[in-house]
Copies of this chain bind each other. A is one copy, B any other.
Amino acid sequence: MSIDDARDMLRKRITHRIMEVEEVELTAAAGRVCGEDITSPMDSPPHDRSAVDGYAVVAEDTFGASPTNPVELKLVGRIELGADPSFLPEIRRGEAVEVPTGGPIPPGANAVVPLEHARRAGDRVEVYEHVRPLQNISGRGEDYRRGDVVLRRGLLIKPWHIAALASLGFRSLRVLRRPRVAILSTGSELIEPGEEPAPGKVYNCTKPMLKVMLTSHGAEPIDLGAVPDDVKLISERISDGLRRADSVIVTGGTSVGERDLVPEVISKVGEIVAHGLAIRPGKPTGFAISSGKPIFMLSGFPVAALIGFQELVIPALELMLGCRFDPPPRIRGRLTRRIASPPGIRTYARVRVFKSGDGEISIEPLRVTGSGILSTLTRGNGLLVIPEELEGFDEGSEVEVILLSPILEGDEM
């Protein structure tokens, strides 16, 4: 099954949704998902205000003004930021009032001449360029009118969204609760970091990576521990995970080989929808559905697990939250050598993206044997996706890659 078909099936089959909201202090809302449509409680700005530092005037007075034929106005005062708009001096024809950016527009004025288009001489102002009525004025409610929708439910909250809410007086925001994702590691070969190394055993490195990726997508990882290749233990832990979490990720034991313990167990608690994908690395990747919740089978090998997470788990989180996460940064560059991919398979090749002496972006495919090789993600800093219909790219081709870490300089590692 292609990864695109698998993702389509995933989107169709997940019916579980995160509905509960919780109220958090405004600055804690960044990276969370907006839990309801937020409407403005007020007009913003609450009064007409200046969009520039300048002179509030009657626009008609400035018509015909030019550097060679300036219009002279009488400066009758200055408005301070924060001044009460109810107590401003009224402006008459032939008069001007100095006003800072954001300052209220006094009654009678209908435009603001920017400082750089005027010159002050004592209590007179020479205007060198005309302004149209309403020019350089942010009208009351121009930003938001009372009742306007400011943020939609499902929006991933960014710093500037927090600024918008703060500008309207909000101190907190109702956000969707974090999705809970339980992670179970399987494999008799696993030991935990900190344990003594033992012959044949390998450190469980995929789980800490997945935990961090979940956290950085606003989810709460639940650690179901690590179990050996034992049907009963795996089964109990998965059931426990389904009770406590919105989704379960099982790593390891998913080879499309002889001892497919994990798929065997999962098929008893849910329906396996995809297992064995036309991707490299990550062929044993798959998922099942249980009561509308997804159970992911990811490789125990970190590079393959990373691909499975990006291609399946992130879309599942988006669906359950009704949100969209940011796409990863991408960059175009030129391949330093040919790279091959089997036809019909989508290959995620690890590459090194660097700037050559001439400033050109070069993309160097890294040689690997297997998805257990992590150094391709520490020496390398990008992923080149080779689509199913291509058998690779030639040396010198211009390709676009997903940038995992910033571009390197020359021979920097």
A residues lining the B interface (CB < 8 Å) = 26-27, 30-31, 42, 44-47, 49-53, 80-86, 98, 100-102, 104, 115, 136-138, 142-144, 148-152, 155-156, 158-171, 187-190, 193-195, 197-213, 215-216, 229, 255-259, 300-303, 306, 324-331, 369-375, 377-378, 403-406, 413
Given B46, B101, B159, B375, which contacts A370 in the complex, CB threshold below 8 Å? B101
Report how far A149 CA is from B83 CA in the complex, Å.
61
Q: Are B204 and A166 in contact (CB under 8 A)?
A: yes
Given contacts A138-B370, A208-B26, A377-B163, contact A84 B199 (CB under 8 A): yes
Contacts of A197 in B (CB 8 A): 42, 46, 169
Q: Are B216 and A30 in contact (CB under 8 A)?
A: yes
Contacts of A137 in B (CB 8 A): 369
Given B104, B143, B325, which contacts A373 in the complex, CB threshold below 8 Å? B143
Q: Are A406 and B326 in contact (CB under 8 A)?
A: yes
Q: Are B373 and A404 in contact (CB under 8 A)?
A: no
Given contacts A144-B375, A374-B167, contact A83 B200 (CB under 8 A): yes
Contacts of A164 in B (CB 8 A): 205, 302, 374-375, 377-378
Q: Are A85 and B212 in contact (CB under 8 A)?
A: no
Q: Are B406 and A81 in contact (CB under 8 A)?
A: no
Q: Are B372 and A143 in contact (CB under 8 A)?
A: yes
Q: Are A169 and B150 in contact (CB under 8 A)?
A: no
Min C-beta distance of A188 to chain B, whole Å: 4
Q: Are A166 and B378 in contact (CB under 8 A)?
A: no
Given contacts A152-B413, A193-B170, A216-B30, contact A84 B374 (CB under 8 A): no
Report how far A370 CA is from B325 CA in the complex, Å.
29
Residue contacts A-B, CB under 8 angstroms, 17 given? A27-B208, A49-B372, A51-B369, A53-B255, A82-B202, A83-B189, A102-B189, A137-B369, A138-B370, A152-B413, A160-B404, A162-B208, A166-B203, A166-B209, A167-B374, A326-B403, A330-B330
Min C-beta distance of A100 to chain B, whole Å: 6
